Amino acid sequence: MKKIFVIGLCAFLLAGCGTLTDEEAKVAVLDSLENAYLASYIADGIGLAVYADQTITNEDVTWYRVADNYTTVDQLKDIVDKAYKGDVADDLKKTIDSKYKEIDGALYSTGVGGCALPYEIETVREDLSEDVSINEIKSSKITITFNETEYTLTKKSNNWLSEAQIFKCN
């Protein structure tokens, strides 16, 4: 019994109690927020770029072929699952289901844009690193502030998820 306790204690101490360093927390937060921003951009925002000359009409809707590297709706939903949980994740995935469709092995969009979100996709990580502050780091939670609002990110597998939608259309 003593051996099991000693081995368990050693493993606990070697793991560092699961606490993130400030740098690890910053990387984890930026990874999560980048996915959160992309999820909002794809679902509620302008959406993925499309080819205007590559269309298919399906069920009286004109669908435009997506110009990005995504080929399935599930790839888009995976982005949501890497950033959000609960009702927010469900709502974003419903929007994705209505806005995107796989047709003949390619991903298509209705081409109906949404709002313009504050950052360009190409520079979102750099912009967020300037606009987000980390308030508290715990083993399974990180609290941040963005746009004067506090958010709590909870660890699930290798991702930090929010129950609140961080990026919204105005």
pLDDT per residue as tens digits for the range 43-92 = 988 888 899 999 999 889 899 999 988 999 999 999 999 999 999 999 99
Q: What whole-number distance in Å separates Cα of residue 168 and Cα of residue 156?
A: 23
> What topology does CATH give the domain 20-162?
Nuclear Transport Factor 2; Chain: A, (3.10.450)
Query: Which has more pLDDT, 60 or 22?
Result: 60
Neighbour-count burial of 83, counting CB atoms closer than 10 A to its CB (0-12 exposed, 13-18 middle, 19+ buried) = buried
pLDDT at 11 over 80: no
Confidence (pTM): 0.81
pLDDT at 34 over 80: yes
pLDDT at 29 over 50: yes
pLDDT at 131 over 70: yes
Where are the chain's structural domains? 20-162
pLDDT, position 18? 58
Q: Which residues make beta-bridge pairs with 144?
A: 134, 151
Which residues of the chain form beta strands (DSSP E)?
50-58, 61-66, 100-103, 106-109, 132-137, 141-146, 149-156, 159-162
CB 162 within 8 A of CB 88: yes
